[in-house]
Structure 1
Amino acid sequence: MTDTQQTWRSLRSLRSSPPDPVRQKRSKKEVFSASLEQSEQYFKAAEGVGYETRPVLAFYGISQIGRAIAAAAHPDRCKSPEDWQLSGHGIRIPGISQAAARGNIGTLTVRDQGKGAFTQLARFLDSPSLPAPVRLAEIWDSLPEMAGHALSDGERYPALELSEGGDLTREDWGDWGPPHVLVLSGVPQNLPTLEGFLNHYPSVWPLEGLQEIDYLKSPRNGLDGQIYLNPLRRYGTGGFASLYGTRYRGRSIAFPALTGNSLPLHPLLAWWAALYALSMLARYEPAAWATAINVDKNKQAVPIEHLLDEALDAVPALALEVMGECSLSDDERRQARLNDEEKYRKKEYKTFTELGRSAMTRLRNRLPLSEKDAKNPPALGE
């Protein structure tokens, strides 16, 4: 069984044991189950057709899965008792014919309509919407799966993988070893300034509330395609990346804030916007779409194929992750955050103790010991 098959199996199991908000109302249960069934059929149908029509089926697949997520949303995120019922697409592409005529789909702009399914789902996911026109190329870059498959060679702010590790740019760090740094991977080449680039990533920059290591300022260039940040950690290994990044298919990701927003767009909405744009082009500008996916004539064709392939795996996996999160109340979400912080605080002492023991061991190996100490080495801290 593939990962995607297992994802759909897990989503299907929710239909008999749905999140609590779904159980509270019969009409929610009916919409939840029917939407998941339709979404699964749309995505499976999309897998069996060519790229000429795949975006249409994939968009309706994500649209239906959005309705299931809305039905599962906790009432804390609803403006009214019936607010969970999505209505209309809620986004549009201004001047699609003129943009299609230019022959570069990256220049298509997407924005919300101020109401409708897209903006409703944004509220349920605690995400900004698209109040200003945003180029498809910018949305495209914000999808982690599209690394290496950009639509544009210009200024780019892609999704960056967030991890913690050692600074490996030097080998002479001394007995304590390389300093622990926050690592941002997937950074484009030829950046004007590191700080100017990082200003587009509000979840990790600036390091508000965190003290920096005095002797090693950040940001700094790391290995190829990496930036290092050097905060004094408040949590043990994994803590900073887990708490300050967005969990995305088992990884921590720093997402960029798109044009018109001060916070990142939720990745499920980025997929929604991208698939909507491609489906609109395929439906209403079929000649331009046929040119866009022609691998003999258009260098954007292979990136388009890649996105339409990845969508079949990424969207269901994201929906499964989101389903549990959006069904929690505000108090439950706050408590879950506190529990995570407490878990990483408990790791902190253990982590630093292990680092200290490792350093002391290296020192002992380098210094001559007395006959007594050689037989009974002093414990750490003595």
Structure 2
Amino acid sequence: MSPTLSSRTQAPMAPALHTLVASHWAADLSALGTSFWIAPSMYMEIDPLAAWERLRASRSSRPGKASTGARAKTYTTALGQAQQMFRAAEAVGPKTSPLLVFYGLSQAGRAIAAAAVGLKGEEVWDTLPATLEYPLTGRGRLTPLYVSSSSVAGDFHPLLIVPVGDIPDHVVDDGSSAALGAFLKSYPGTTGYDSFARRRTGADADPNYEQRLERLDAMTWRYARHRYFFPAVAGLSPELHPLMAWWAVLYALSMLARYRPAQWANHINVEGSRHAVPIEKILEQAMEHLPVLIADTIEEVTTWS
């Protein structure tokens, strides 16, 4: 339930006079002739039993992508485990309950993921600049587009113009604006940006170098001290943060290595698997790219207001 707020006019009362009325959660705050009745946000109607009933019912009428196949089994099993863990947490004390609640939530997350839009591992793999030369499959790929900011310096054209690299050959060979526009629809950062918005400090002031870089930074993502347009995967918007993409790729590889050791051994066998070299390279580059990306991300989040 959202906090409710109503007012009524009455005779002036002493400022900051607080009188509890009606119940322990409603306060009559009187000042300057106006009284407000406020229901704190902590007051809400929670019915976990009804929620678990809804979740149990959904196991036979599975939603979204969990309607059939392996996702259906994952959805029903994970939700059942989540409910059992939450029940077990109710029966133990605070020394143990955090573990059970956390793993219950983790299994519920698996159910949510099973019902959500399909996200293929190779699509996430392709979003990393480190994998540009190491595809997992021969399918058409959506990879990051490198943006060179060197041309921004000294350019006084009213448009912000930057070279963009790694556009696929088939788009370049087509040469039409229609082909380029269709391709760039998968890159949310390019949407709606075709001109530079000036910030005038005088009647005829031109945008300066810092202002151009600021605009470019707003359109692109920072990765290892460079700028990129990143693709959206599985029709999602906005694009994945590159650190999240790394996390997803390494999580998948770690789960294979830990829980499917035989399959993992097959994948990294250079004599029998076309995935072996790409996996070797991505793990090598993880040791180089991640420290820089972590440092950049910490710098990024500390500037958030």
TM-score calculated relative to the size of structure 2: 0.51
1:287-324 deviation digits (Å, cap 9, x = unpaired) = 22111111112222111101111112222222222223
Matched, 1:188 2:168: yes
Tell whether the 8 Å contact from 1:141 to 1:158 is kept in structure 2 after alignment: yes
Give the Å deviation of 1:131. 4.5
Which residue among 114, 117, 120 is the counterpart of 1:132?
117
Secondary structure in 2 matching 1:296:
coil
Q: 1:313 to 1:248 in 2, by over 3 A?
A: same
Distance in 1 separating the partners of 2:265 and 2:104: 24
Matched, 1:156 2:136: no
Distance in 2 separating the partners of 1:325 and 1:201: 21
Distance in 2 separating the partners of 1:279 and 1:144: 20
With CA pairs under 8 Å and 6+ residues apart, which has the higher RCO, 1 or 2? 1
Partner of 1:249: 224
1:162-193 deviation digits (Å, cap 9, x = unpaired) = 12466xxxxxxxxx99x973222112222372
Distance in 1 separating the partners of 2:225 and 2:103: 32
Tell whether the 8 Å contact from 2:160 to 2:195 is kept in structure 1 after alignment: no
Q: For residues 196-211 of structure 1, what are the structure 2 equivalents within 5 Å?
A: 196-207=182-193, 210=196
Distance in 1 separating the partners of 2:149 and 2:294: 27
Q: 1:183 to 1:320 in 2, by over 3 A?
A: same
Give the Å deviation of 1:243. 3.0
Distance in 2 separating the partners of 1:234 and 1:195: 27
Distance in 2 separating the partners of 1:210 and 1:307: 37
Tell whether the 8 Å contact from 1:131 to 1:260 is kept in structure 2 after alignment: no
Amino acid at match of 1:311: A
Which residue among 300, 307, 321 is the counterpart of 2:296?
321
Matched, 1:306 2:281: yes
Matched, 1:263 2:248: no
Partner of 2:131: 146
In structure 1, runs of 5+ residues without a counterpart are 1-85, 93-110, 116-129, 167-175, 212-232, 335-382
Matched, 1:293 2:268: yes
Amino acid at match of 2:296: E
Secondary structure in 2 matching 1:203:
helix
Q: 1:143 to 1:114 in 2, by over 3 A?
A: same
Distance in 1 separating the partners of 2:160 and 2:195: 18
Tell whether the 8 Å contact from 1:151 to 1:300 is kept in structure 2 after alignment: yes
Give the Å deviation of 1:327. 4.0
Tell whether the 8 Å contact from 1:159 to 1:253 is kept in structure 2 after alignment: yes
Distance in 1 separating the partners of 2:294 and 2:135: 24
Q: 1:305 to 1:323 in 2, by over 3 A?
A: same
Distance in 2 separating the partners of 1:165 and 1:245: 15
Tell whether the 8 Å contact from 1:143 to 1:158 is kept in structure 2 after alignment: yes
Partner of 2:21: none
TM-score calculated relative to the size of structure 1: 0.42
Secondary structure in 2 matching 1:207:
coil
Q: 1:246 to 1:316 in 2, by over 3 A?
A: same
Q: For residues 41-52 of structure 1, what are the structure 2 equivalents within 5 Å?
A: none
Give the Å deviation of 1:90. 7.9
Tell whether the 8 Å contact from 2:160 to 2:196 is kept in structure 1 after alignment: no
Partner of 1:124: none
Secondary structure in 2 matching 1:252:
strand
Aligned length: 183
Distance in 2 separating the partners of 1:89 and 1:268: 26
In structure 2, runs of 5+ residues without a counterpart are 1-100, 198-205
